[in-house]
């Protein structure tokens, strides 16, 4: 009997070690190739896990030795406590999904002027959230009605903390390792809670904080479509913003640094769960072919909420 217990324990330990080394080896190989992070799809109590390698489209089946939950490749050897679907954050349906979460956050705003929300996405899931309101959402810290002239510019006298600041601070508290090369989504909602399309990038205090904290990309949803900016480009555009031309129609610059992610190729349909059907083609020059605009749509079933 003692031998059986010993063998069962040894098998469990060796299985866990095998799983650990297998994941570590694949991640080392992946990093060596200088490719993007990979995702591992787990099914709770099932030991089978799927690894989807973004750039090659390859799918590998791993046999996990022991343990439940979910393994995520961005952090070496880390396992999630519960099943959490980690997705590509640059797919159009995922971008729309994260904007929906941004709008939900914006509805929490208590600002009297504009309801804004922001989420930071790292490793395929939300690591930070924020909405604009007075510090700690406390009404006794609202100074909007104080009309005393101090000579300061209006933006320096506002009482509300920006949604982007809060999302970045939230990410730094919750998961500081994931903030490197993460993506910040920003959106406003109107009085009815409907998302308002963004205009020109203009907030330099937010772009500076994003740069300093290591945010890799900034996402806005313009009339022409969802656009992903490199944070450095977003910062430069913010400094170039002119109040004189703020109401002019805006289209993202034709720059290889920014990408409108409203399209993917139908030939890119993948069977690896939980990837959905990809519909149109991606363009990397900031222009939509044939005047196509962003498709509206609900996030696919089963996508993560946080």
Judgement on whether residues 101 and 43 belong to the same structural domain of the protein: no
Judgement on whether residues 73 and 130 belong to the same structural domain of the protein: no
Distance CA 165, CA 241 (A): 20
Domain housing 75: 2-80
Domain finish residue from 11, 46, 80: 80
Confidence of residue 76 (pLDDT cuts 50, 70, 90): very low
**Assigned domain for 276 exists:** yes
Contact 78, 84 (CB under 8 A): no
Judgement on whether residues 157 and 238 belong to the same structural domain of the protein: yes
Among 68, 79, 69, which Cα is nearest to 23's? Answer: 79
Is the pLDDT at 161 greater than 80? The verdict is yes
Is the pLDDT at 39 greater than 80? The verdict is no
Judgement on whether residues 27 and 174 belong to the same structural domain of the protein: no
Judgement on whether residues 18 and 159 belong to the same structural domain of the protein: no
Percentage with pLDDT > 70 across the chain: 49
pLDDT computed for residue 184 by the predictor: 94
Judgement on whether residues 55 and 156 belong to the same structural domain of the protein: no
Judgement on whether residues 248 and 173 belong to the same structural domain of the protein: yes
Average confidence (pLDDT) over 110-133: 89
Q: Domain holding 138: CATH number?
A: 3.40.140.10
Residue 163 Cα distances to 154, 190, 242, 254, angstroms = 18, 15, 22, 28
Confidence of residue 151 (pLDDT cuts 50, 70, 90): low
Residue 142 zone, left/alpha/beta (φ > 0; ψ -120 to 50; rest)? beta
List Cβ neighbours of 299 (8 Å cut-off, separation of 6 or more): 93, 94, 96, 97, 100
**Assigned domain for 110 exists:** yes
**Assigned domain for 120 exists:** yes
- Tens-digit pLDDT profile for residues 247-290: 555 556 554 444 444 333 222 333 333 322 222 222 223 332 33
Is the pLDDT at 202 greater than 90? The verdict is no
Total domains in the chain come to 2
pLDDT computed for residue 250 by the predictor: 58
- Give the single-character DSSP code of 283: B
Average confidence (pLDDT) over 135-163: 69
Q: How many CB atoms lie within 10 A of CB 208?
A: 14
By CB atoms closer than 10 A (0-12, 13-18, 19+), residue 255 is middle
Lowest mean pLDDT among 1-10, 15-24, 101-110: 15-24
- Tens-digit pLDDT profile for residues 226-243: 888 888 888 888 888 766
Identify each DSSP E strand in 35-124 by its residue range: 39-43, 46-52, 59-63, 70-71, 79-80, 115-122
Among 167, 178, 76, 50, which Cα is nearest to 123's? Answer: 178
* 28 or 74, greater pLDDT: 28
* 124 or 282, greater pLDDT: 124
Distance CA 230, CA 216 (A): 6
The pTM assigned to this predicted structure is: 0.54
pLDDT computed for residue 281 by the predictor: 28
Confidence of residue 123 (pLDDT cuts 50, 70, 90): confident
């Amino acid at each position: 009997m003692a031998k059986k217990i010993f063998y069962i324990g040894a098998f469990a330990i060796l299985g866990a070690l095998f799983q650990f080394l297998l994941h570590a080896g694949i991640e080392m190989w992946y990093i060596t190739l200088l490719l993007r992070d990979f995702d591992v799809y787990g099914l709770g109590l099932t030991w089978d896990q799927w690894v989807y390698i973004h750039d090659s489209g390859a799918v590998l089946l791993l046999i996990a030795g022991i343990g439940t939950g979910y393994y995520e490749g961005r952090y070496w050897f880390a396992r999630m406590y519960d099943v959490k679907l980690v997705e590509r954050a640059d797919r159009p349906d995922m971008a729309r999904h994260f904007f929906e979460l941004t709008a939900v956050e914006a509805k929490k705003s208590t600002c009297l002027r504009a309801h804004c929300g922001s989420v930071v996405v790292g490793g395929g899931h939300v690591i930070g959230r924020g909405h604009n309101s007075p510090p700690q959402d406390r009404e006794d810290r609202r100074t909007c009605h104080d009309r005393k002239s101090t000579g300061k510019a209006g933006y320096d006298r506002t009482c509300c903390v920006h949604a982007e600041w809060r999302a970045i601070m939230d990410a730094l508290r919750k998961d500081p390792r994931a903030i490197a090369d993460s993506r910040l989504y920003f959106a406003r909602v109107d009085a009815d809670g409907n998302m308002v399309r963004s205009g020109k990038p203009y907030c330099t205090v937010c772009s500076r904080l994003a740069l300093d904290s290591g945010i890799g990309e900034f996402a806005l949803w313009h009339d022409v479509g969802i656009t992903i900016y490199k944070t450095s480009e977003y910062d430069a555009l913010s400094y170039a913003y002119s109040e004189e031309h703020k109401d002019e129609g805006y289209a993202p610059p034709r720059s290889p640094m920014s990408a409108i992610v409203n399209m993917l190729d139908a030939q890119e349909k993948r069977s690896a769960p939980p990837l959905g059907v990809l519909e149109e083609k991606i363009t990397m020059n900031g222009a939509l072919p044939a005047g196509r605009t962003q498709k509206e749509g609900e996030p696919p079933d089963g996508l993560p909420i946080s």
